[in-house]
Amino acid sequence: MTVDEDQTARPAAASPELEGRLGFGAVFTRHVVAARYADGGWSGATLQPFEAISLSPASMVLHYGQAIFEGLKAFRAADGSALIFRAADCARRFRRSAARMGMPELPEDVFVEAVRAVVAEDVDQVPSAPGCSLYVRPVMFAAEPSLAVRASTEYVFLVVASPVDSFFAAGRTMIDVFAMRELIRAARGGTGDVKCAGNYAAAMVAKSAAVAQGYDEVLWLDAVEHRYVEEFGAMNCFAVTGRPDDGTATLVTPPLAGTILPGHTRATVLTLAARRGIPVVERPLALDELTDPDGSVTEVFAAGTAAGIAPVRTVGGSEGVLRKLGDEPGPVTAALAADYAAVVRGAAPAEDGWLIRVPG
């Protein structure tokens, strides 16, 4: 399947002068790639103008929620080209998500080519300011008009792109997180380790509650004991125990045990920590351990494509502030954030397959 580079009308969208006040996901580039699945196969993916699409009111996604998505970024490199980060890994995760949701798997090369085509067509819309990037959002949803309670036989695949700056409030350099004890995000055997839309729909009320109390993000706990840290609303969780100055710093992150998303930023951070010789332990991490001011945890940060590496300032819960970690990022967080920023912009070596270069 090839992407047909069909040129049509170009609705006004983001422009470079918007940089610095882009927000997250509020403006879009001029084109999308779209493909349809019907009769057991995918149609050719075509580049099209960004415009409204028409859907039957009986489309199954509206009733039963069969929808999955991905999120990846293109960054502006110093030489003016755009670098797409970890597209092949997203294609693999998209396939896994589709399988879990009873949806047809999209060939990974089609996914990657669709992402590349969207970035290449509107490469002028990849922002260059520090902290800015082009967020690329592939999505697949059930399109068959039917109320039958079964998997749809028709699907739409779309890739849209949005020039973005900060995921959190503009100017925010550290985040305050709210440990959620009343609601859960995922249990074993559920869908917590795939990127289906329903995971996010069910989490909105928790995010709203956290924001209403002055926090930036939800920190989800395990579904059984409400005791162990799982991940944030759209990011994986890392803690640093010990300190780099006395050689005791260790990176700790919850294991991939079926209830958290296997984040590509998480995987990248593990590689970057190994490059720096920082030991990494994947093990259950109790909330009490995170919030104990006399314990071994010295830093906490969130890691995800949308937010990058976000140092945590405060951990709170329904009883109020549980721990203040400090107003500045800790040394390990700062070092890994700098490494990450360098790798995604091509200023430090990437592993094989991490970057696709698109001429600027």
Ligand X SMILES: Cc1ncc(COP(=O)(O)O)c(C=O)c1O
Cβ closest to ligand X, residue 108 vs residue 146 = 108
Q: What is the dihedral of CA 314, 315, 316, 320, to 10 degrees?
A: -60
Cβ closest to ligand X, residue 13 vs residue 108 = 108
- One-letter amino acid at 260 equals I
Spatial contact of 212 and 173, defined as CB atoms under 8 Å apart: no
Tell the residue number behind the tokens 């047809």, with chain if given.
Answer: 104
Cβ closest to ligand X, residue 37 vs residue 94 = 94
Q: How far is the CB of 305 from ligand X (least distance, A)?
A: 3
22 to 51, contacts with ligand X by CB under 6 A? none
53 to 82, contacts with ligand X by CB under 6 A? 71
323 part of the interface to ligand X, by CB under 6 A = no
The distance between the two most distant Cα atoms of the chain, rounded to a whole number of Å, is: 63
92 to 121, contacts with ligand X by CB under 6 A? none
Residue 23 to residue 168: CA distance in whole angstroms: 8
264 part of the interface to ligand X, by CB under 6 A = yes
Closest CB to ligand X: residue number? 263
Candidates 263, 317, 330, 346: give the one binding ligand X (CB under 6 A). Answer: 263
Candidates 235, 251, 322, 325: give the one binding ligand X (CB under 6 A). Answer: 235
Q: Which of the ranges 49-57, 260-268, 289-297, 320-328 carries the binding residues for ligand X, by CB under 6 A?
A: 260-268
193 C-beta neighbours (distance < 10 Å), count: 19
Candidates 305, 312, 323, 344: give the one binding ligand X (CB under 6 A). Answer: 305
Please provide residue 242's backbone torsions phi and psi, each rounded to the nearest 5 degrees.
Answer: 75, -170
Candidates 127, 242, 254, 304: give the one binding ligand X (CB under 6 A). Answer: 304
Q: Count residues contacting ligand X (CB under 6 A)? A: 12
343 part of the interface to ligand X, by CB under 6 A = no
Candidates 154, 231, 299, 339: give the one binding ligand X (CB under 6 A). Answer: 231
141 to 200, contacts with ligand X by CB under 6 A? none
Q: Give residues in contact with ligand X (CB under 6 A).
A: 71, 231, 234-236, 261, 263-266, 304-305
